Amino acid sequence: MLTSKQRAFLRGLANKIDTILIVGKGEITDNIIMQADTALTAREIIKGKVLENSTYSSREAAGLIADKCSADVVQVIGSKFVLYRENPDEPVIVLPKANKK
């Protein structure tokens, strides 16, 4: 679970990356899940887009893909969404530490 500070940090990183995952009018297939999983392993953060003719909203698509890939939904704005999953073997992104109470 990401804190608001970590989410803000990841949103800043996501501004600079290109959209690599596109959900079209068909179902979210195993191929899309595999593509997202592979990209998350390599990059840790990915940006996706849901086309207008899709049966999914961007929030639904982001949630479904995140659940199947064990990722966190960082942000959903309009038709775009950002997913994050830490690579346990070779972490690329160092998140700010969560505040302890």
Q: Would you state the pLDDT for residue 101?
A: 57
Q: What is the predicted pLDDT for the residue at 94?
A: 87
> Which residue ranges in the chain fall short of pLDDT 50?
none
How high is the pLDDT of residue 100? 62
What is the pLDDT at residue 92? 87
Phi, psi of 68 (to 5 degrees): -70, -30
Q: What CATH number does the domain located at 4-84 have?
A: 3.30.110.60
Query: 84 with 11: CB under 8 angstroms?
Result: no
**In a 3-state reduction of DSSP, which class is residue 7?**
helix
Whole-angstrom CA distances from 1 to 5, 7, 26, 72, 85 are 12, 10, 30, 7, 10
Sorted by where each begins, the domain ranges of the chain are 4-84
